[in-house]
Amino acid sequence: MEFQSLTPASEAIESLKSMVLQMKEGTKLASERALVKELGVSRTTLRNALEYLVKEGKIEEDSDGTFSTIRKHKINLLDMSSMSDELKSEFHQLKIEMISNRVLEPSENVAGYLGLSDNEKIVELTRKRLLDDIPVTFEIAHLDYQKFPALLGIDFNNRSLYKTLKELYKVVPAYGHETVSSTNASGNVAEVLNVSEGTPLYLISSFAYDNHDEIIEFTHQYLVGQRVQYQIKVNNIFDYRDDLE
């Protein structure tokens, strides 16, 4: 069998990949001049390799034109905090951009989740969250319009939905459950998150309830897989034993 040698471009990509895999999250790469010397390639070949790894989600370009390994934003699956609070706990340059806030007829599934009768409507609130101006999540929240009509006229740019519900209706999430699955970006979701079609995403379907066991919201959230990492953090694992038995 005859083996063909790698092209300079392929060699540069593989060498950079190997280098990145040994680095911690958020570590800045050496300067282009240093990388050109270390890898023994031209600046053009290096730039092409860097751009390739950016598209693969291995590295990201910083505001000063240098590159760093991707730093994933960690989210605790067992925390009842809002997504914004989860992200702000570790990173500070968070923006929430409202895309739409409207009243509409629910799908059959959403009506069932919210316990709606015929002809009852929902508030659909769509937003995206950005960290350092990079889109991280796209959220579609569904709430009972009959319960929360005042939500319709509110500007939710950089405003918390949960804090608003507490202020207007004295409603506070007490518990909930989430289903985590994987999907690929397409259509409007890819456009909102500014990723290529087919990019791997987390799809989080979540239900939040108040302390009277009344459902507050049903939400779909799309999260860019290369930018976030889900984890479980508990103080005492035995607190959850009853749920497992």
Burial class (CB in 10 A: 0-12, 13-18, 19+), 13: buried
Which residue, 69, 90, 107, sits at the end of a domain?
69
Domain identity same for 41 and 159? no
pTM: 0.67
Domain identity same for 121 and 44? no
102 within a domain of the structure (yes/no): yes
123 within a domain of the structure (yes/no): yes
Expressed as residue numbers, the domain containing 58 is 8-69
225 within a domain of the structure (yes/no): yes
Domain identity same for 58 and 93? no
3-state DSSP helix/strand/coil % of the chain, to nearest 5? 30, 30, 35
Task: Count Cβ neighbours within 10 Å for each residue of 62-73 and write b for 16 or more, e otherwise.
Answer: eeeeebbbbbbb
Domain count within the chain:
2
pLDDT single digits (tens) 163-208: 999 999 999 999 888 888 989 999 999 999 988 888 889 898 999 9
Q: What is the mean pLDDT of residues 230-234?
A: 52
